[in-house]
Amino acid sequence: MTQYITVAADDRVEAKNGVIKLHGPEAFAGMHRAGRLAAEILDALVPHVVPGVTTQELDDLVYKLTVEGGGTPATLGYRGYTKSCCISINHVVCHGIPGDKALKDGDIVNIDVTPIVDGWHGDTSRMFLVGDVPLKARKLVDVTYECLMLGLEQAKPGNRLGDIANAIQRHAEAHRYGVVRDFCGHGVGRVFHDSPEVIHAGRPGTGVELRPGMIFTVEPMINIGRPDVKILEDGWTAVTRDRSLSAQFEHSIGITDTGCEIFTKSPGGLDKPPY
Ligand code: MF3
Ligand code: CO
Ligand code: CO
């Protein structure tokens, strides 16, 4: 059974045992600021995501942009993670660790950033196309963005998490793509990964009912092939088991009286490629 609790803006305790937090205007304002910085960072990366740049160079840039924007990267030191963002290339599903690897022509790349601003976490990711990308890969990226936005259309009071999940799953599977089950969206706020778990495949009319004040991410990972993933030896990098290409977009949102507020929309209109 779901229990909803109204939390004060200074609450920093992770919700447990099916408890769902309902946040007030101060939290929405805080998430708006954090989400805007997150989106600005991704906007600023656009000219740098080119063949030859290393993922470490991009991570350094994310660090600099985060700090200059008055934030700190939530991932830095998070459960032993030591980078300022995640960069996931081609068949990497999520949690790719920046390093020596250079981007090459034809790559599709997800960059996921989470600046903390005044204690609030702005969590968002987008796909980037490196140089000349084959149509098949561009199609995956387009459909994955559509999956996210179709999911968000269902994010309104009275609907359930299963309605968001089903909208995503139906669109992905209509294109014969696989929806990753091993990673989910999550409640977000002063806590990075909070309740509820936001699934990306499921049945309509099921799961937690959405109420005004809920704040969470939606971040579908869609594979050209099977949904199955495996984690590499580094303990973080998730890849498709069949090595098929994978794409992801993520927004942080808050449920309002009539629908949802997207905290992480691009100020520059750069929500999806081509940029
Ligand atoms: N930003 C990721 C998310 O969307 C979480 C990354 S955690 C890390 O939830 F440690 F891998 F960076
Ligand atoms: Co997230
Ligand atoms: Co993220």
Q: Across residues 166-185, what is the average pLDDT?
A: 99
**Does 184 contact ligand 1 (Cβ within 6 A)?**
no
Residue from 224, 273, 234, 235 nearest 91 by CA = 224
Are 85 and 58 in contact by the 8 Å Cβ rule? The answer is yes
**Is residue 274 in some structural domain?**
no
- Asked whether 94 lines ligand 1 (CB < 6 A), one says no
**Per the domain annotation, does 17 fall within a domain?**
no
> What are the pLDDT digits (tens) for 187-217?
999 999 999 999 999 999 999 999 999 999 9
Is residue 199 in some structural domain? Answer: yes
Distance CA 221, CA 3 (A): 28
* Tally of CB atoms within 10 A around 165: 26
Average pLDDT taken over every residue of the chain: 98
* CA 157 to centroid of ligand 3, rounded, Å: 24
**Tally of structural domains, the chain:** 1
Q: Tell me whether residue 268 is in a domain.
A: no
Residue 18 belongs to a domain = no
Q: List helix spans (H) across the chain.
A: 25-45, 55-68, 135-153, 161-174
Res 168: pLDDT: 99
> Cβ(15)–Cβ(29) under 8 Å?
no
pLDDT of residue 249: 99
Residue 30 has pLDDT above 90, yes or no: yes
Ligand 1 atom closest to Cα of residue 75: 12
What is the share, in percent, of the chain residues with pLDDT greater than 90?
Answer: 99
Task: List phi, psi (to 5°) of 12.
Answer: -125, 15
Task: Kindly give the distance from the C-alpha atom of residue 32 to the centroid of ligand 2, in angstroms, as a whole number.
Answer: 16
HSE-CB of 246 using CA atoms within 13 angstroms: 33
Distance CA 84, CA 166 (A): 32
CATH number of the domain enclosing 121: 3.90.230.10
Q: Are strands 85-89 and 178-179 parallel, antiparallel or unpaired?
A: unpaired
- 52 CA to centre of ligand 1 in angstroms: 25
pLDDT above 90: residue 269: yes
Q: Is residue 224 part of a domain?
A: yes
Nearest to 58 by CA among 72, 42, 76: 42
50 lies in which domain range? 4-9+27-262
Residue 146: the pLDDT is: 99
pLDDT at 17 over 90: no
Distances (CA, A) of 198 to 49, 67, 151, 152, 207: 29, 29, 11, 12, 9
Contact in structure between 110 and 247 (CB atoms under 8 Å):
yes
Q: Where does the pLDDT of residue 1 fall: very low under 50, low under 70, confident under 90, or very high at 90 and above?
A: confident
> Does residue 78 have its Cβ closer than 6 Å to ligand 1?
yes
pTM of the model: 0.98
Question: Which pLDDT tens digit goes with each residue over 85-117?
Answer: 999 999 999 999 999 999 999 999 999 999 999
Mean pLDDT of 68-92: 98
- Residue 273 falls inside a structural domain: no
Residue 75 has pLDDT above 80, yes or no: yes
Kindly state whether residue 269 falls inside one of the protein's structural domains: no
The DSSP secondary-structure symbol of 102 reads B
Locate tokens 């977009």: which residue? 249
Question: Scanning the structure block, which residue is given the tokens 């049945």?
Answer: 203
